[in-house]
Amino acid sequence: MRIALLSDVHGNLPAFEAVLADVDAQSADEVWCLGDLVGYGAQPDGCVELARARCDMSLAGNHDLVVTGDIPISDFSSSAAAAARWTQETIAAETMEYLRSLEASDAGREPALFHASPRDPVWEYVLSGWQADECMDLMDARVGAIGHSHVALWFQRGEDGKVVGAPAEAGLERDLSEGRWLVNPGGVGQPRDGDPRAAWLLLDTGTWTATWRRVEYPIDDAARAIEEAGLPKVLAERLYNGQ
């Protein structure tokens, strides 16, 4: 099966639409979202509506959970908190209902799915080999997929027990057929690796091949929506820098 793995849409509808167009072009069989459909962007209803129509499964991210009231808004930075309050005040009832139906992990799949990590599905940023090593110990599945960090990454534990990993640049292909793995598709709506293009990962579970992809999208449209909503300008500005 060819699975499109997405994460961190963050209310950025132009990016989400561009990624799904690329998903269709790559003939993915299913679309799995690792959480944070809402967050920094100004089109949460549109993103959730699109996810309901197109995603075969979705997880809850920390930005989804703060909007539903499951985690306190005081845990967020000032700009993230402002976006969360605005989202709470403006989203449709159907959007809130959908967000409340989501869980932060689905460890029973192959690959196992976690918004943040197997150790802490809501909050942990897995950015180092030692973190990935400890997280792999907690997975029954051989391959796991994580989001949350907005950075496209891969980590592998080989037969010698050593863990290696690195950022995943656009077009990178990795053979996941041997060893244990944690992969991160990067962020759809707000990448943080210096590349402003929307990120996603195509995983073929027949050959266990992973391909990281990047997609151009109209950043101006997403930034304009943020500014027109009265959200902090930094949330629009950072889209241009991929940070």
Summarised one tens digit per residue, pLDDT across range 24-50 is 999 999 999 999 999 999 999 999 999
Q: What is the mean pLDDT of the chain?
A: 97
Average pLDDT for 209-215? 98
pLDDT of residue 69 exceeding 90, the answer is yes
pLDDT 10s digits, 89-135:
999 999 999 999 999 999 999 999 999 999 999 999 999 999 999 99
Pairing of strands 152-157, 198-204: unpaired
pLDDT more than 90, % of the chain: 99
pLDDT of residue 243 exceeding 90, the answer is no
Model pLDDT, residue 91: 98
Query: Model's pTM, two decimal places?
Result: 0.96
What gap in Å lies between CA 44 and CA 152, rounded to an integer?
A: 23
Torsion of CA 221, 224, 228, 234, to 10 degrees: 130
| Domain 2-240 class in CATH | alpha beta
Model pLDDT, residue 73: 95
Among candidates 143, 109, 110, 113, which has minimal Cα distance to 34? 113
Model pLDDT, residue 47: 98
What gap in Å lies between CA 237 and CA 241, rounded to an integer?
A: 7
pLDDT of residue 56 exceeding 90, the answer is yes
Break the chain into its structural domains and give their ranges. Answer: 2-240
How many CA atoms within 13 Å lie on the side-chain side of 104?
A: 20
pLDDT of residue 148 exceeding 90, the answer is yes
> What are the C-alpha distances in Å from 190 to residues 87, 147, 209?
17, 12, 25
Model pLDDT, residue 166: 97
pLDDT 10s digits, 162-187:
999 999 999 999 999 999 999 999 99
CB count, 10 Å around CB of 208? 16
Pairing of strands 163-167, 209-215: unpaired
* 6-21 residues labelled b (16+ CB within 10 A) or e (exposed): bbbbbbbbbbbbbbbe
Model pLDDT, residue 64: 98
Please, which pLDDT band fits residue 1 given cuts at 50, 70 and 90?
A: very high
